[in-house]
Amino acid sequence: MVHGRVSRLSVHDVRFPTSLGGHGSDAMHTDPDYSAAYVVLETDAEDGLKGYGITFTLGRGTEVVVCAVNALAPHVLNKDLGDIVGDFRGFYRQLTSDGQLRWIGPEKGVVHLATAAVLNAVWDLWAKQEGKPLWKLLVDMDPRTLVSCIDFRYITDVLTEEEACEILQQSQVGKKEREEQMLAHGYPAYTTSCAWLGYPDATLKQLCSEALKDGWTRFKVKVGADLQDDIRRCRLVRNMIGPEKTLMMDANQRWDVPEAVEWMTKLAEFKPLWIEEPTSPDDILGHAAISKALAPLGIGVATGEQCHNRVIFKQLLQAKALKFLQIDSCRLGSVNENLSVLLMAKKFEIPVCPHAGGVGLCELVQHLIIFDFISVSASLQDSPSN
Ligand SMILES: C[C@H](O)[C@@H](O)[C@@H](O)[C@H](O)C(=O)O
Ligand SMILES: [Mg+2]
């Protein structure tokens, strides 16, 4: 039983100097300091449990998100946790509809990142009070309760509450076996850690050979800044991993649409499974054009880490603009909004491969993707997450 009144919300600006070693660097973020706006919720309950939630940020951006979290705090403080999760859709709607704060969103940008951090902390506290990891809390929840956490506003043309329930009902078959499979074998993953853009070739080689020794079979390489560099680096990695293992490429929004097609045509010889974020994350039709042009080369488009909200994901799916959908546990409005995107992806039969290249993201998103496999997609095909 969830209980307690929220008595304190604190938010910390946590930063790691990753830019010093070029860790996390890509064609657009050349000096990223992996950081987080880190929220802690306390209640007056005697169990002493706290809820921890983050949103991923980069360096100085963190101070802006911390401000936004503080601006949202009055919505949470002195609220009964039972009331919050008992009407989670209403609470999500309350946070995202704040009459003054929504002007600097709505449901996008800093204010949405802050919403994610706060709601991630609420979910964490709920799971802790139930004595379960988050994925298990979700897996054990009945479909009606699960969908009652989702705000369906703006997506009912594609997914209604009834349809969402049906999807969850249908996936009840084989759920127990899939849960056992996850507990025994875990979820397949890929690594990005070998090939950040700022790494010299020697580092790339060393990390790649270590990753191969550790048993990795899927590798993502950063591309997009300089074509000749990309050709050299992709050749190096492909030669090291051999023809059978999987290679993905990530351009972090560097290109215009025709440029993306041209550039990827030149990198096609390295047989990438996908090109991630080839262009602006807001350009739905641009992604669709790139998808269409690259399909004959066997290259899929992946995107989502900077996709603002469920509406953009809805349109990417409607426009057949992506072959791999990358949810982010901190960019969308926490579990609540991610649930709606997982269900839409299932409806369109698009595999979900979460984004996790940042501090804390792997830890968070594993809960969502394990839930997705057990309770929604029921498939591991084409779905490595990093
Ligand atoms: C700045 C970050 O490291 C990004 O480069 C990273 O999230 C990346 O896009 C990824 O897909 O992991
Ligand atoms: Mg990426």
Catalytic residue among 29, 108, 287, 355: 355
Burial class (CB in 10 A: 0-12, 13-18, 19+), 349: exposed
**What separation in Å is there between the alpha carbon of 87 and the centre of ligand 2?**
34
pLDDT over threshold 70, residue 386: no
What is the average pLDDT value for the chain, to the nearest integer?
97
**What separation in Å is there between the alpha carbon of 28 and the centre of ligand 1?**
10
Task: For residue 75, indicate whether it is catalytic.
Answer: no
User: Is the ipTM value over 0.85, yes or no?
Assistant: yes
Q: Mean per-residue pLDDT for 175-184?
A: 98
pLDDT value, residue 160: 98
Does the pTM surpass 0.95? The reply is: yes
Q: Which of the ligands is closest to the CA of residue 27? A: 1
Atom 8 of ligand 1, nearest CA residue: 357
Catalytic residue among 222, 287, 346, 367: 222
Choosing from 250, 253, 277, 279 the residue with most ligand 1 atoms within 8 A of its CB, the one to mutate for a pocket test is: 250
What are the tens digits of pLDDT across the range 184-241?
999 999 999 999 999 999 999 999 999 999 999 999 999 999 999 999 999 999 999 9
pLDDT over threshold 70, residue 83: yes
User: Does residue 355 line the site of ligand 1, with CB under 6 A?
Assistant: yes
24 vs 255: CA distance, rounded Å: 19
What are the tens digits of pLDDT across the range 1-33?
899 999 999 999 999 999 999 999 999 999 999
Task: For residue 287, indicate whether it is catalytic.
Answer: no
